[in-house]
Amino acid sequence: MIVSPSADFDIQKIADSGQCFRLNACGTGDYRLIAGTHVLRISGQGALALKCAGRDCGACTFCTDFFDLKTDYGAFIDRVPARDAYLRAATAYGRGIRILRQDPWEMLITFIISQRKNIPAIKRAVECLSTQFGRALEGGLFAFPTPEALAAQTEEQLAPAALGYRTKYVLAAARMVAGGQLDLCALESAPDAALCEALKAVPGVGEKVAKCVMLFGFHRLRAFPKDVWINRTLQAQYEGEFPPGCEGFEGVMQQYLFYYARASAPRKKAGATALRGE
């Protein structure tokens, strides 16, 4: 499958946008993504070639869905109020970022882990869980573990992932999903408020993590997670509250704000988010 640049698709920005922790650069300009049992390679500059299992995936249903290629993100950007110069700048800077349609279960565990961790540390923990408890895929790679696989572990067995105090949260979440108390499939059709409350019933899931799972796992584009970066931006630019004008796609705007805030911050990240072309 070939994705043209005009599709508002920038794999480098997506990889650095803090929503997907198993999408990484491998070599010059190439990226590798593990999603479900799919191993994708994204290569090329300008037009991007998406390959599943080393083969061109053609009009791949999985990629079309995963990268949300049928949604026009340029249209979202065009709807940003002209009076909001800061958001205009953020969307211009982050153009190419999309909200991926990731697995709700993986997002739930990943964002439980994310609390008080930086992105490299989150990636490391997710990879460790996958390597230890996930199904083997091609090339020595591993799928994210199933709820049943994690639910079967003890706290001691999870120790290598260095989850710290989050270990018990991860196990509790896994057991709720594996045991049927939390039916993520059924929640696909739940209203936003009901979905949010169901997620917050999981130990270790508060407002922010619930919103991340809603946005990145359930594609609820209204969900607006507020982490430390977003809160700083809201305080500095909006007197504490995101203004009206983007109803229905607030979460998409949140992602551009997050990316822009991190890229604009004083250097601490050794070029990981190096400003390009400026």
Partner DNA sequence: GTCCAGGATCGGA
Partner DNA sequence: TCCGATCATGGA
Catalytic residue numbers, as ranges: 208
Residue among 69, 33, 26 nearest 53 (CA): 33
- Write the interaction track for DNA spanning residues 13-42; mark x where CB under 7 A is met and - where it is not: ----xxx-----------------------
| Residue 19 CB burial class (10 angstroms; 0-12, 13-18, ≥19) | buried
Q: Which stretch binds DNA (CB under 7 A): 23-31, 35-43, 66-74, 107-115?
A: 107-115
Q: Does 10 bind DNA (CB under 7 A)?
A: no
Q: Please report how close the Cβ of residue 213 comes to DNA at its closest, in angstroms.
A: 9
Supply the DSSP symbol for 249.
Answer: -
Q: Does 124 bind DNA (CB under 7 A)?
A: yes
DSSP codes joined into one string, 90-155: HHHHHBTB------HHHHHHHHHHHTT--HHHHHHHHHHHHHHHSPB-GGG-BPPPPHHHHHT--T
3-state secondary structure of 56: strand
Both tokens of 49, joined, read 């070639």
How many amino acids of this chain bind DNA (CB under 7 A)? 41
Q: Which of 230, 234, 246, 252 binds DNA (CB under 7 A)?
A: 230
Q: Does 115 bind DNA (CB under 7 A)?
A: yes
Q: Does 154 bind DNA (CB under 7 A)?
A: no
Q: Please report how close the Cβ of residue 61 comes to DNA at its closest, in angstroms.
A: 25
Binding site for DNA (CB under 7 A): 17-19, 111, 114-122, 124, 162, 164-165, 200, 203-210, 212, 225-230, 254-255, 258, 262, 268-270, 272
